[in-house]
Amino acid sequence: MAKKNIEQVNLIDTFKDFKETKNIDRTTLVSVLEDSFRSVLQKTYGSDENFDVIVNPDKGDFEIYRNRVVVEDGAVENDNAEICLSEAQKIDNDYEVGEEVSEKIDFAKFGRRAILTLRQTMASKILDLEHDTLYNKYKDKVGTIISGEVYQIWKREMLLLDDEGNELLLPKNEQIPGDFFRKGETARAVVLRVDNLNNNPKIILSRTAPEFLQRLLEQEVPEINDGLITVHKIARIPGERAKIAVESYNERIDPVGACVGVKGSRIHGIVRELHNENIDVINFTNNVKLFIQRALSPAVISSITLNDETKKAEVYLQPDQVSLAIGKNGHNIKLASMLTGYTIDVFRELNGEEPDEEDIYLDEFKDEIEEWIIEAIKGIGLETAKSVLDAPRQMLVDKADLEEDTVDEVLEILRAEFEQ
């Protein structure tokens, strides 16, 4: 008897643990616990249809009643659904054939195996429910900013905890170069996606996605949040530079000025959050040529030729504007292409004159430099030897997508030509 009492106490304690530690609403908890009991009853009796299960998560207890019909002695065909008259009258002398007997069941008498099965079933069902709750909560938060406490830092990712202790993952490739967090600090990021493989949700965060910058803008610029300014497109090289195209339908509102704020007051907070990522805000326009011109700022464009079918743009500039259009490490032209959706090729304008007599077209070096390398360099708007020598070395690596050794070899060949 003492052993059964201990088992009953353990079962009640387990019940209370789930009630106290799981962040689940009462109605759902009652349903899950009742299903767990019925699952064990089904396995024990073959059916749970004639049982009443009453659970009370507020008190942390439960009651189970089995309902059986009274039949004549010797006429019982189903022990679970029927009880003979003599047995029924041991419970109450007034029972007669045809009446229903409701008898309270002591679950502890089911034995250790049944109790263990119940606990395992209960844990499994509540774990599944927690996963469903977590997935449903965060699938609706994709694209929104959340804050989490840094709990663990690994080489490839960082683990954060939200206010309810849910685990959030910030992969290394979704962190801004220069991000450095310590355990216990608070980090902000946008919910990038929610993976749910085998009903095991994983919340993936990002600080490099364009949506993170957009949400920061919405927090800092009331006109965007109020719908007075529209953010059409954002292009980012995280931690380096970003370009934002904005538009206002209210003539009294300057969208660029509103985003930047007085003396940069609004944009400065965002820049700090993004580790001094330079942010260019430009006016959006449906005029593609004008949009490309604005996107390539601060360079001054002489002329633009578009091919709308291939989404390519040939941009012609004075020689002193080429480096401005390309930008440091090719960032300016890359962001302009991302922002406008056009592949932009930059060309030096010669004003109808032949290039410097001492300069040499790259095609003249086909016997020393492989043709595909020459075409890759020409593809970023560099047609002559001197234009390549004047361009930043890193730009040739990044923009022309060449190996550093290849770039060094090309530069050595070109320099040798002018040293002769």
pLDDT of amino acid 256: 93
Residue 201 falls inside a structural domain: yes
Can you give the CATH number for the domain in which 242 is found?
Answer: 3.30.300.20
Contact indicator for 315, 347 with CB cutoff of 8 Å: yes
Q: Is the peptide bond before 298 cis (omega within 30 degrees of 0)?
A: yes
Structure tokens that stand for 9 in this block? 């106490």
The verdict on 106 and 148 lying in the same domain is no
The verdict on 28 and 110 lying in the same domain is yes
Three-state secondary-structure class, residue 304: strand
pTM above 0.75, yes or no: no
pLDDT of amino acid 174: 96
The verdict on 63 and 150 lying in the same domain is no
Give 291-302 as a 3 state SS string: HHHHHCCCCCCC
Contact indicator for 151, 187 with CB cutoff of 8 Å: no
Stretch 247-269: mean pLDDT, rounded?
Answer: 90
Can you give the CATH number for the domain in which 149 is found?
Answer: 2.40.50.140
Q: How far apart are CA 82 and CA 19, in angstroms?
A: 35
Q: How far apart are CA 224 and CA 227, in angstroms?
A: 5
pLDDT of amino acid 402: 87
The verdict on 28 and 109 lying in the same domain is yes
The verdict on 82 and 153 lying in the same domain is no
Contact indicator for 264, 280 with CB cutoff of 8 Å: no
Three-state secondary-structure class, residue 328: helix
The verdict on 132 and 6 lying in the same domain is yes
> Tens digits of per-residue pLDDT, 155-199?
999 999 999 889 999 999 999 998 999 999 999 999 999 998 888
Between 21-25, 60-64, 82-86, the lowest mean confidence (pLDDT) is in 21-25
Can you give the CATH number for the domain in which 123 is found?
Answer: 3.30.1480
Residue 301 falls inside a structural domain: no
Q: How far apart are CA 82 and CA 187, in angstroms?
A: 63
Residue 339 falls inside a structural domain: no
The CB-side HSE value for 272 (13 A sphere, CA atoms) comes to 7
The verdict on 125 and 175 lying in the same domain is no
The verdict on 55 and 101 lying in the same domain is yes
Q: Could you say which DSSP state residue 22 is in? A: -
Instruction: Among 206, 227, 245, give the residue marking a domain's end.
Output: 206
Annotate 46-73 with b (16+ C-beta within 10 A) or e (fewer): eebebbebebebeebebebebebbbbee
The verdict on 155 and 254 lying in the same domain is no
Contact indicator for 191, 138 with CB cutoff of 8 Å: yes
Between 66-80, 205-219, 344-358, the lowest mean confidence (pLDDT) is in 344-358
Q: How far apart are CA 264 and CA 8, in angstroms?
A: 67
Q: How confident is the model at residue 222 (pLDDT cuts 50, 70, 90)?
A: very high
Number of domains, the chain? 4
Between 200-204, 295-299, 366-370, the lowest mean confidence (pLDDT) is in 366-370
Between 9-18, 57-66, 190-199, 251-260, the lowest mean confidence (pLDDT) is in 9-18
pLDDT of amino acid 13: 57
Residue 39 falls inside a structural domain: yes
Q: How far apart are CA 173 and CA 217, in angstroms?
A: 22
Beta-ladder partners of 290: none
The verdict on 15 and 93 lying in the same domain is yes
CA dihedral 313, 318, 320, 323 (to 10 degrees): 10
Residue 323 falls inside a structural domain: no
Q: Is the pLDDT of residue 355 over 70?
A: no
Q: How far apart are CA 351 and CA 328, in angstroms?
A: 26
> Tens digits of per-residue pLDDT, 92-137?
888 899 999 998 888 777 777 777 777 787 778 778 888 888 898 8
CA dihedral 322, 325, 331, 337 (to 10 degrees): -120
Structure tokens that stand for 392 in this block? 């930043």
The verdict on 390 and 371 lying in the same domain is yes
Instruction: Among 80, 104, 136, give the residue marking a domain's end.
Output: 136
Q: Is the pLDDT of residue 78 over 80?
A: yes
Instruction: Among 259, 284, 309, give the residue marking a domain's end.
Output: 284
Cβ of 38: how many Cβ atoms within 10 Å? Answer: 17
Three-state secondary-structure class, residue 254: coil
Residue found by looking up tokens 């000025």 in the block: 257
Taking every pair of C-alpha atoms in the chain, what is the biggest distance, in angstroms? 123
**Element at 315 (helix H, strand E):** strand 312-317
Full domain range(s) for residue 18: 2-136
The verdict on 147 and 100 lying in the same domain is no
